[in-house]
Each structure stands twice: as structure tokens, then as C-alpha cells.
Amino acid sequence: MKPLHAVLALLVLFAVMSAVSWQMWANPVIDGGREMNAPLRLLRGETIYSQVYYLYGPVAPLFNALLFKIFGIHLNTLYAAGLVSSLLLVLLIYHIARGFMSVFESLLAATAVLLLCIFKQAGNIVFPYSYAALYGTLFGTAALASQVDFLRSGRMAGLVAAGMLSGLAFCCKMEFGFAAFASLLTLVIVVLPPQRTRTAWISLASAAVIPLFIYGLILARIPSDSLIKDTFVFPGNLPPELVYYNKLKLGLNHPGQTLRELISAVALLGGVAGLLSLIGARLAGESILSSPLSRHVRRFWWLTGAGFGWIVVHLMVFRSHWDLNPLRALPVLFLVMILYCFRKRAGRGPVDATGSALLLVSVYSLIVLARVIVRIPGGGGYGAGLLPVPLMLFVYMATADFPLFAMPADAGRYRRRAVHVLLSIGLIATLGVMVYRFGQNSYTRLQTPRGNLRQPPSISLAMSQALEFLEKNSNPGDYVLALPEGSSLNFLADRPAPLRYEVVTPGFLSEAEEWLAIQAMQEKDVKFVFLLNRPTSEFGPRVIGRDYCRNLMEWIEAHYTLASVFGEEVTPEIQVGDPSFFIKCFRRE
């Protein structure tokens, strides 16, 4: 396969997946409203952090505000930003992979990113939960590509670009900046000693200039406390609800199960690796059942038996269902890869650019997964922005020849082909399932003057009824509050939000801030409050007004009356957490 053919295949696949998932990307109930409305508020003159709460770095909402100014305040502007950024990310992954892998293997790596990260139905990054995650992973991956290119070319322009892109990634979302800074520091370590000091100074200066400039401008306009508090720079400031959420994502709420999942993932990969190696040996004409067996064949039998044996024992002992996600093993694999790269460098003497580049990729991959290090998700949602580079490295490790798989040349070649076949079948099956699910879902179109979405019928109906109600009963300048999150209504109806918060899920409003929110509602004469059926059990407290924000909801119930309930098969008695999606509208008395 030629490189041009691989790129064309990626472009065609991207176009197909864009078509079958068209306008199904945004979630107007969870996080999506913040990504729509926060840039609009910044465009209209409000200040980030002090007047508009934003949990992440400032680049994404400010950049999207600029896109609104240039291309118009419309969902299509955000869709286009997501599609272009996602396509660039896929091509960057392919570009980096070509430094270590064949054209076909690079195509496999980029296809895995496209399917599992870009378009996965359970969570995509065309319209992500946060554009900070999309832009952060794009800049972080671009920084890594520039670092690798500098290792190969030695051009200082590449080093400066690597530093500045790392700084941009940090200003989007800190975990991507930390990963890029870590690989940049590794770059300084691996260059030859005569160049090390110069490389260190240039990389440090170029990495610092963007954050110093951006945060300097922001801190010139707002108190530093607003920035530090909003972005939770210091982990000790995290409220209990966000600590609970992070522990849930890390699997620390059930550490025993999490450890078993990690071990099982390693065992699964070990068993598959041993089996594919045996297949390779057999296709090369070796007898895998003869006695005495050759040394490498015995090793593969042990690997296969130990891997699948652990899984059988797990099922027999614990008798429980658990997620056999092979990606859970990535941290172990990457630690081994880092040690392997260092050991290889120590034994070779002369600096090997490819080996050094692999070390950079391995360090970046491990650090970027720090937020989910012991419980790696299988793409989608929260994991979509974290996995692109790790997925590429995983494909490399699956297809490369390591000392563990030392075997005759013919057997090694067949083993590699067997891996190609397995990965290809897996990706083709994933593609087929995704296309089928997108085609068979019952999503209906939600049409608004600011763009269209395709959503489950219950959400489309409730949202369209709420928007129609606002069109008839309010004016564009009237303040409207949506709880606990739902400022997609503000954006789509062109009604301003009264609070600095776009999201009022557990952990964001302290008791004092609840009273400030009540004061803001009084000052701005908020006429309507909308309550969306949005349970928040991932934070611990589940129902707003019952488990959190009690003062705020009690005040609303005392000063507002129920005007209408939107949705299908809804009644005034329906509560947050009930199966049917609804939106309740409360009118100021």
C-alpha cells in the first residue's frame, strides 16, 4: 500500500462516518450547553472566570468565540471546528506513526483513533464534552509530532514549534500540557550532551511564552483567586463531589475490581500475543506440538496458557461480570516500553533517532493517561481525547518485534501478519457495528434558528417544546436559568443566562455561592427557570434540590410556580431520575 492510498482511505472513512453520524454529535443536556453558550457570552463582552465560569483553560472558549465572530453564532460553526480539528488529529496520528510503522500499520493506528475516539457513539470529539479536550489533544499531538521531527531533522524551528504547541495544549487542558512538557523534557535528556543546554533553554522558553502571555492577559483583568478557584489548579481545593467523580473514573471506589480488571487486561493481551505467535510459528512450518519443543515455542505456550488461564480462574473464583477491556493494560505496557527504550539506548552507544522518538511517544502516552491511569476507558466520552497517541503506540507494540517474541524470521513475519489480520477484523467489525447503530437509531431532528441537532425523540420533543414556549412567552433579552445544566436552551433560544455558572452539578456551588446565585436571580429578574431531568449520580449526590443546592431550589420553589412540563408522557409529579426525559418550566410569581 502506498502512503497516498492510506491517506485517501482515511479521508473516505472520515467522510463516511461524518455522514452516518451527521448532527448526532452534541449532547444538549450534559456539558454541551456550556460549550455552546460560554463562547457566546465571551463574544458579548463577559470575562472568562470572573463573569463566566469555565473549568478548563481559556483557549477553547476564547477561540470558539472568535469563530462565532468570524463565521456566525451557529451550531454549524462548532460542528465545523470539531470536524476540522478531528481530521487534523487523525492525520497527525498517521504522520507520527509513519516514523515507526509501515503504511498499513499506520493506517490501522489512525483508523483506530478515528473509530474509537472521533466518532464513537457513546462519546465523540466532533462535539466533545469539552472543546478544551479536543483542542488540547490536537495541540499536544502536534507538539509531540514537532518533537519527533526535531529529533530527525535537528531544525530549531521544529523545537520552537514543539514548545509553543506544548504551551497551547497546557492552556487548553492541563493534562495535555503536562504530557507534552514531559515528552519535551525527555527530548532534552536524549539529545547529545553538546546540544543539551541549548535545547533545554530554547524548549523551556518557547513552552513558557504562550502560557505566560495568555494567563498574563487574563490576570491583568481578573483577580488571581477566580482563575485558581475555577480551574482547581491545586488538587487540595477540589470539593468532595469532584473527588468522588475522579475516584469513580480512576476506579478507586472499587480498587479490588479495578486491580482485577488491570491484571485481566494484561493476561488477555498476553494470551492473545502467545496465541498469535504460535500461529506465526505454525504458518512458518514449525511444529508447535513436537517434543522437545524449541525454546521460543515453549515460551509462547506458557504465555498463552498463563494469560487465558488467569481469565478462566477469575471467572471461576469471582463469578462476576467485569469489563475485559484490553486497553486497561496500557499503563503497564508503556512502563515496559519506557524501560525498554532506556535499556536499548544504554546498550547501543550512538544516539538512535527512531529509538529516541519512541521514548518520547511512550512518555507522552503514559503521562496523558494519568487521570485514568488504572482504569483506561475504551474510547468515547472522557477517554476520547486521552487515547489517540496511546492507541497509536499500542498498535506499534502489537506489531513490532521485541525480544520476548524472538523467533525465526519467517515465523516473526507470519506473527506480524496474524496481528494485522486480527486488528483489521476488529476495526472492520467496529466500523460495521457503528454504522449499523447510527443507521438504526430512532433519533429525530431538533430544528432551531441556531442550528439543528439529532437527538433521542424524548429529548428532541422536550427541547422543541421548551424553545417554542420561550419564543412565545419571553423576549431575547430576558434572563433564563436552566438547572442543573441545560444552557443549550439559552444558546438555541437566544436568551442570556443569569449566573456565571453554565453547569450547576454537585461541587460547583457552595452554600455561600447559592445565596449569591439567588441574589443574581433577583437582580436580573429571572422570569423562567427550567429544570431538566439530569441525574448526577456520577458525582455522588443525585438529585438537585434534594441532595445538593437545597437552598437554591427551596428559594425557587417559594418564588416560582410550575408553568408547564415538556416531554412525552409527563405529569407535574414527575421527578429528576424518573425514566422519561422532561423539562419543567417554573414562572416567577
Helix axes 75-97, 59-71, angle to 10 degrees: 120
pLDDT in tens, 212-223: 999 999 988 888
Q: Which residue has the higher pLDDT, 405 or 578?
A: 578
Whether residue 248 lies inside any domain: the answer is no
> What confidence score (pLDDT) does residue 320 get?
55
How big is the chain by its Cα radius of gyration, in Å?
26
Contacts of 333-340 spanning 24+ positions with Cβ under 8 A? 333/269, 333/394, 333/397, 334/362, 334/365, 334/366, 334/369, 334/390, 334/393, 335/366, 337/362, 337/393, 337/397, 338/362, 338/363, 338/366, 340/402
Domain assignment present for 418: no
Q: What digits encode the pLDDT tens for the residues 77-130?
A: 999 999 999 999 999 999 999 999 999 999 999 999 999 999 988 789 999 999
Highest mean pLDDT out of 98-112, 248-262, 295-309: 98-112
Provide the pLDDT for residue 249: 76
- Asked if residue 330 is part of any domain, the answer here is no
Instruction: Copy the grid coordinates of residue 155.
Output: 531544525
Q: Considering the domain boundaries, does residue 531 fall inside one?
A: yes
pLDDT in tens, 419-453: 999 999 999 999 999 999 998 888 999 999 999 99
255-283 and 409-440 helices cross at what angle (nearest 10)? 130
Checking if the pLDDT of 321 tops 60, the result is: no
Separation between Cα atoms, residue 67 and residue 35, nearest integer Å = 13
Residue 549 included in any domain: yes
Q: What is the rounded distance in angstroms from the CA atom of residue 188 to the CA atom of residue 120?
A: 36
Q: How far apart are the C-alpha atoms of 192 and 188, rounded to whole Å? A: 9
Q: Is residue 540 part of a domain?
A: yes
Kindly state the average pLDDT of the residues 198-208. 90
Can you tell me the mean pLDDT for 27-42?
94
Per the structure, the complete domain to which residue 571 belongs is given by: 445-588
pLDDT of residue 258: 81
Asked if the structure places residue 504 within a domain, the reply is yes
Task: Give the per-residue pLDDT at 256.
Answer: 78
Helix (H) or strand (E) segment spanning residue 86:
helix 75-97
Residue 454 maps to a domain: yes
* Domain count of the fold of the chain: 1
Beta bridge partners of 215: none
pLDDT at 432: 94
pLDDT score of 460 = 95
**pTM listed for this prediction:** 0.93
Q: In what order do the strands lie in the sheet with 480-483?
A: 480-483, 528-532, 583-588, 560-566
